Amino acid sequence: MGQSNKTILLPDIGTADAVDVIEIAVKPGDQVQKEDTLITLESDKASMDVPSEIAGTVVKVLVKVGDKVKQGDPVAEIEASDAKASTNEKKEDTKQKQEKETEIEKEKTPQPKQEAKPAAQSAPPIASGNVYAGPAVRRLAYQLGVDLTRVSGTGNKGRITQEDVHQFVKQSMASGGGSGLGVLPWPDVDFSQFGEVEVTSLSRIKKKSGANLHRNWVMIPHVTQFEDADITELEAFRKANKASVEKQGAKLTPLVFIMKAAVAALKKFPSFNASLSKSGEELVYKHYFHIGVAVDTPNGLLVPVIRNVDQKGFSELAIELKEISEKAREGKLKANDMQGGSFSISSLGGIGGTAFTPIINAPEVAILGVSRSVMKPQWDGETFKPRLMLPLSLSYDHRVIDGAQAARFIVYLSECLSDLRRILL
């Protein structure tokens, strides 16, 4: 493969007048592909990108912002990565490219409400509405999903530069607005000015689960529905069977029954056992019942998945729950142990608390939070009776599940827990 330098000259830009260089898109050392933008020009009526005629490495940029240039002026020197590509044969292509750029500009630039003059139609405006940016900047913004109306321009006359777009993205990432929330930057405080402090790194698990939780919280419209299930009878049944499960080395906790009751509810309301497709336009119903269980470990939260919960008995589930939560706490879970869940349960019942709002584990569409059961007086129509009530908190993705469906789900779940025989129906 041959190597040679080529000076890129300014092609025919449709005017004999000198026009301003408003942006330099490359610097020495940059690799460019054929037709990558080198500089952007601006005339009274339009802005246009000047593309490279060849692929290669930028050796020198021969103009600077503010220069006035006209056809034939040298723009940049490029060391061709393929000597053949440096011939002049593609001048025609370049012209076509400019025409294409102009078209793109025309499409993406919101047109003023008043009818544009013919001249303005043939040469699209770069300042329209409240956005003042050239085609390269618009393309960059389009690729990065940036709304240019929210970007402040630091260029000449408030023009938005590529750097402005990059800064906007950086700022919104730093402020936690990776999806363009445009919130204020995170406060940068030196806490030591107020008293003694100690700084430690977040664990690897916390960093990873934190990023997932953040995405899920920001991207899923959550609603949490609460209900208290009367588990008085269930508790009697649990106590009666506790010892036999203990003999097998596991604990028969309420969670095992909640998992089975959740499967019964998922079967009755299949949209809770589903995921949105990536496009967000389809719902994928799962015909399996793999339940993720949030486990509190010394290094942070992990959610191992117990598979085919519908096909397992209470003691089998109790044993599996013990094994998998031990594995999680000992840091022995494999990636595969945490994949494939179709619904999750986060139980804080062993600790306490009255209710909480769990964050959905995407791409699942719902999660059940369980708090500590407590004796409460319940009105039976004639008198108050002490009943053991289990607080349930169901967070659901409101794009997929309606409030009424969620209420039906949680009421049915509660009924299953109150009378386990329903699970068999």
Report how far residue 413's alpha carbon sits from residue 407's, in angstroms, rounded to the nearest whole number. 10
Strands (E), 62-161: 68-69, 74-80, 127-128, 131-132
Report how far residue 262's alpha carbon sits from residue 363's, in angstroms, rounded to the nearest whole number. 18
The distance between the two most distant Cα atoms of the chain, rounded to a whole number of Å, is: 97
- Nearest distance from C-beta of residue 221 to ligand CAO, angstroms: 19
60 - beta bridge partners? 77
- Nearest distance from C-beta of residue 177 to ligand CAO, angstroms: 23
- With contact defined as beta carbons under 8 Å apart, do 77 and 30 qualify? no
Question: Number of residues in contact with ligand CAO, rule: CB under 6 A?
Answer: 21
Question: CB-wise, 126 or 294, nearer to ligand CAO?
Answer: 294
Among 45, 60, 206, 372, binds ligand CAO (CB under 6 A): 372
Strands (E), 129-247: 131-132, 222-230
In 3D, which of 136, 132, 163 has the Cα closest to residue 148?
132
- With contact defined as beta carbons under 8 Å apart, do 47 and 21 qualify? no
Among 137, 306, 309, 390, binds ligand CAO (CB under 6 A): 390
Among 212, 224, 253, 315, binds ligand CAO (CB under 6 A): 253
Among 216, 325, 344, 395, binds ligand CAO (CB under 6 A): 325
Site membership for ligand CAO, residue 62 (CB under 6 A): no
Question: CB-wise, 119 or 374, nearer to ligand CAO?
Answer: 374
Question: CB-wise, 276 or 324, nearer to ligand CAO?
Answer: 324
Report how far residue 110's alpha carbon sits from residue 103's, in angstroms, rounded to the nearest whole number. 13
The window from 87-95, 194-202, 280-288, 365-373 that contacts ligand CAO (CB under 6 A) reads 365-373
Question: CB-wise, 303 or 401, nearer to ligand CAO?
Answer: 303
Q: Token digits for 331?
A: 């840091």
- Nearest distance from C-beta of residue 356 to ligand CAO, angstroms: 8
Go through the chain and tell me how many residues it has: 425
In 3D, which of 225, 235, 227 has the Cα closest to residue 386?
235
Question: CB-wise, 151 or 306, nearer to ligand CAO?
Answer: 306
166 is a catalytic site residue:
no
Question: CB-wise, 325 or 414, nearer to ligand CAO?
Answer: 325
Question: CB-wise, 149 or 244, nearer to ligand CAO?
Answer: 244
Which single residue brings its beta carbon nearest to ligand CAO? Answer: 349
The residue annotated as part of the active site, out of 166, 214, 222, 398, is 398
Q: What are phi and psi of 300, to 5 degrees?
A: 135, -175
Pairing label, strands 127-128, 31-32: unpaired
Site membership for ligand CAO, residue 366 (CB under 6 A): no
Among 293, 306, 309, 319, binds ligand CAO (CB under 6 A): 293
- Nearest distance from C-beta of residue 302 to ligand CAO, angstroms: 9
Burial environment of residue 404 by CB neighbours within 10 A (0 to 12, 13 to 18, 19 or more): exposed
Question: CB-wise, 90 or 242, nearer to ligand CAO?
Answer: 242
160 - beta bridge partners? 133
Three-state secondary-structure class, residue 38: strand
In 3D, which of 220, 338, 211 has the Cα closest to residue 276?
220
The window from 107-115, 251-259, 307-315, 400-408 that contacts ligand CAO (CB under 6 A) reads 251-259
- Nearest distance from C-beta of residue 214 to ligand CAO, angstroms: 13
Among 301, 338, 355, 420, binds ligand CAO (CB under 6 A): 301
Q: Which of residues 329-358 bind ligand CAO (CB under 6 A)?
A: 346-350, 358
- With contact defined as beta carbons under 8 Å apart, do 409 and 224 qualify? no
Site membership for ligand CAO, residue 296 (CB under 6 A): yes
In 3D, which of 300, 289, 361, 367 has the Cα closest to residue 333?
300
Sign of the alpha-carbon torsion through 57, 63, 69, 73: negative
Task: Tell me which residues touch ligand CAO (CB under 6 A).
Answer: 251, 253-255, 293-296, 301, 321, 325, 346-350, 358, 370, 372-373, 390
Question: Known catalytic residues?
Answer: 398
